[in-house]
Each structure stands twice: as structure tokens, then as C-alpha cells.
A and B are shown apart, each in its own frame.
Chain A
């Protein structure tokens, strides 16, 4: 038990947002949530001081942006990236049970929370420092540097300091929402970004100065004859008709909403109160879509590593060949996820695809394998670390005084029954979601939202809706509050 005692003085002193005392009325919860959201949008629109005009030389996160939130060149440049990366490390350590922390023990809970924060700060430095100091992703205004007399290095430090403060702010904004608002901040920031893209994909009018033409304005043009469909099939399916994108988007929406209701229900009855019955649902997407973000972030981190290595050393061809900052062949090319149709539709003629068909097929297969196996593994870890595993749920059912009819009232017995369902359902669900994310990326979605982003948004919104419904129920029936014990 060495590391706990050593780290305790640091981990227990990590600053945290105060918990509300007593019940927070639903309206005030909504106000906090909305307030933080407005603040988030405000901060994403502030360009970092000292950045060269013309902004960042291409978004460092690229297409990963939609799941990592934030905005390139703004003080929220890092978005939730560091939080996600820190979470990956924690999941892996926790899932493999290397931490030795028992999350039911109050003292270990404090340590876990502290460790979480410390890891985020470490990750801010690990991703932020190379972003500013390596390569030319965030060029500084050299004129300003000499004007201030601090030199380019000094100004880069100022740039990093702003990014650091922004990233720490996101962490605390999430904590405020988790404790005082509805849902989680991270979920909210992801929905905010994806919804923005989605709305733009539907309604953006070029006359208002947007770069894309939305689905509805495009079809208005097609019907009134302003936009020609030539060649017919191709432009109907892809730009500007975008029928395929509409189809994928609607498909993902319906699949997620449908699978939310697919579940194995384990009947429960109360030991003392005859007739009081309940069910314990084991949902198909039991672990939710959230672990998916971890798999994607892992891929994102591999790509960052490739870009940074490429900047410093001459990589051998089999590791990675880069052209304009993108891998075009070698290991890093195959490890890069398929992000859009232009990445693989070599046969359609609508896109200029430089890679050979066999290279593309390998890349698609690698991406699919990564997402399906990664999705399943992270789902299993997620279930374990968030207390949704057979052991913890058995304990929960036992504590609530319920039992499975026909079985002895004993946590070990309930656990045995749970073990028949939870692991299998988790693995299947995780793999399914992984495959779905790749499919959505390959077919393309409205507004160019990434498949994972769309999946996350739909399921987070669904969860949020459930949570709001639960809140309202408790608001109307104060008795329920005692039952759910969230006072």
C-alpha cells in the first residue's frame, strides 16, 4: 500500500468545487447548466493572445475535434482532450486493478478524485507543450514578441499558459455542472459542438457567409433550378444532394434510440413486501457509448505522436510518410481512422483518392478491428470502474432489499445470475457501437459530424432526457427524493 500513503498529502489537497448543501431546485440546476454552456461558447470564441494572425496552421485535432470539444486557436484549444486522455489512463489502471483503490471506501474515493485531477493536469502539459513548442501548429506573432521584448519563446510560454488555464477551467466547469447542474459538463460540451455542426449541415446558407451549404438550402436550390445535379446519381448521393448523409444520420439516430430500449430484464421481487416487483434492466448498450470516446481518443493520440515524431525525426517509410501534415502511407497511415468518404471511396470517381485500393482496404480493416475490439475492451473496463459490474450491481440489489425470485437472497447468488448477462451484453454492445461509428464515418453524415460524435450526441441527449425526467419526478414528489436518496 505504498503509493497511497506517499501521494495522500497531495491528492487530498486538490481543489474541488463545493457541493451544494441540501436539495438544489430543478430550475436552479437548469440555470447553472445554461450559464456554464454560455460561458463555454464565450470562451471558444476568444482567440489566444499572441497567436499569429491567420490563426493556427490547421487544427491540430483535425477531425477528432468533434469529440474532443473546444475550438482551434481559442483559449479552449485543448477542449476535453486532456480529461479524456487522463480517463483512458485511469480506466486502464483501474480496469486491470493496478490502483488498489476501493471506490466504496470514502478515503479511497478522495484519493481517486485527487488522482483524476492530477492526471488531467499532467495530460494538459503532455499534449499542450508539444502543441505549442513542437512544430508549427500554433505559430506565434513574432512581431508582437519583439514588441513586448520577451522573444518568441516567451510569447510561446504565454500561449501555453492561456491554454493551460483554459483546460483547467473546462475541468472545473465540468465539476460545477456535475455537482450543481444536470448531467455532466463533458457530455454537454460534446453535444454543443456536434449540434452546432449538425444545424449548420442542415440550414447553413452560403449567402450569410458560411462555408458549407446546408441540406435544406441545397435542396431549395435543386428544386428551383439554382443548383444542377450533374452527374445525376453521384451528386444526388453526395454533394450537393447529400441523400446518403441524410440516410446515415437518420439511421444512427434510430439505431441508438432503438438499442437504448433493447435490454435483458432480470425480474426482482421484494423479500418482505409481497407484490412489490421490479426489474433490473441490462441494456444492450449497457456501458453506453461513452467508452467509445476513449477508443477514438487513443487513435487521436497515436496520430499526434506520429505528427510530432514526423516533425523531429526523419521517419522510415514503413513507419509513416507525410504529405501536408497527413500520413499518406506507412504504419501511421494504416492506424489513422477513416474520417470521411474521401478517405476510401476510390471507385466512385467523386473524390481524388491517392492511396491504392489494397492500402485503403487494409486501413478500413485496421480501423474496424481497432474500434470493435477497442470498443469491447473499454466497455468492459468502463463497467468495472463505474460500479456497473456484476459484483457491484448484486450488492446494490441486495441493499435495496430486493431478490431474484426463485433464488436465495444472497449477494453471491445474485452476482452469479448477473455474471450470466452483464459481461456478454457489455462486449456485444461495445463491439456494435464500434462498428456503427466506423460505418457512420465511412458513409458520411450531415454537417460532416464524425460517426462517434453523432453516436455520443444521440446517447448523451437520451441520457440527459432521462435525467431531466427523473429530476422533474423528484421535484413533483418530494417523497421520491428520499427513495432515490439524492438529497
Chain B
């Protein structure tokens, strides 16, 4: 598709945040696994802090 819409040619059911195909070479890329790992570690950290004090 020439227009960089995220859900192809069909009418997009876009969420509130729109993501396009275009990306800048400078941008910092994050692996989705990193997001999940960080979220879980952060949650566990807060839990441990809560128990420790």
C-alpha cells in the first residue's frame, strides 16, 4: 500500500494512538520482549518493596 496505514486497505479501526510504517533511523527501537520483561520486573520490584517495609 502506498498510504502507510496500519491496518492495510480496509477502513482502519485505529485505536487512539496511531502508528505508521514510517520510522526514523534515529529512533530508539525497543524489542517487545523488553517491554514485557521490564513491566514484570517493575511490578515485582514494587511488590518486594511493599513487603520489605
What is the interface residue range for chain B against chain A?
35 or more
The segment out of A35-43, A209-217, A298-306, A344-352 that lies at the interface is A35-43
Docked CA distance A172–B34 (Å):
10
Which of A39, A46, A175, A184 is close to B36, meaning CB atoms less than 8 Å apart? Answer: A39
Docked CA distance A165–B18 (Å):
21
Which of A15, A120, A187, A396 is close to B27, meaning CB atoms less than 8 Å apart? Answer: A15
- A365-408 contacts to B (CB < 8 Å): 386-388, 392, 395-396, 399-400
Knowing A116-B17, A399-B2, say if A17 contacts B32 (CB, 8 Å). yes
Would you call B16 and A290 a contact (CB within 8 A)? yes
Would you call B15 and A470 a contact (CB within 8 A)? no
Docked CA distance A262–B8 (Å):
23
Interface assignment of A203: CB less than 8 Å from any CB of chain B: no
Interface assignment of A176: CB less than 8 Å from any CB of chain B: yes
Would you call A387 and B3 a contact (CB within 8 A)? yes
Nearest-neighbour CB distance to chain A for B22, whole angstroms, equals 4
Beyond A39-B43, A87-B17, A169-B38, 6 additional contacts (C-beta under 8 Å) are A17-B29, A17-B30, A42-B40, A186-B17, A467-B7, A484-B10
Judged by DSSP, the binding face of A is helix
Nearest-neighbour CB distance to chain A for B9, whole angstroms, equals 6
Would you call B17 and A388 a contact (CB within 8 A)? no
Q: Please name all residues of chain A whose beta carbon is closer than 8 Å to the beta carbon of B39 when the two chains form the complex.
A: 39, 43, 169, 173
- B5-49 contacts to A (CB < 8 Å): 5-24, 26-32, 35-36, 38-40, 42-43, 46-47, 49
Residues of A whose CB lies within 8 Å of any CB of B are 12-19, 32, 35-36, 39, 42-43, 46-49, 75, 80, 83-84, 87, 103-104, 106-107, 109-110, 112-113, 116, 120, 144, 147-148, 162, 165-166, 169, 171-176, 178-180, 183-187, 288, 290, 293, 386-388, 392, 395-396, 399-400, 463, 466-467, 470, 483-486
Would you call B28 and A113 a contact (CB within 8 A)? no
- Which residue in chain B gives the minimum CB-CB distance to A175? B19
Would you call A15 and B9 a contact (CB within 8 A)? no
Would you call A396 and B43 a contact (CB within 8 A)? no
- Which residue in chain B gives the minimum CB-CB distance to A91? B16
Would you call B43 and A106 a contact (CB within 8 A)? no
Knowing A12-B26, A16-B23, say if A386 contacts B35 (CB, 8 Å). no
Q: Can you pick out 19 interface pairs between chain A and chain B where the beta carbons lie within 8 Å of each other? A: A15-B29, A17-B31, A18-B29, A32-B32, A39-B39, A75-B42, A75-B43, A106-B4, A109-B4, A113-B20, A116-B18, A165-B42, A169-B39, A176-B36, A179-B19, A185-B15, A288-B13, A387-B5, A400-B9
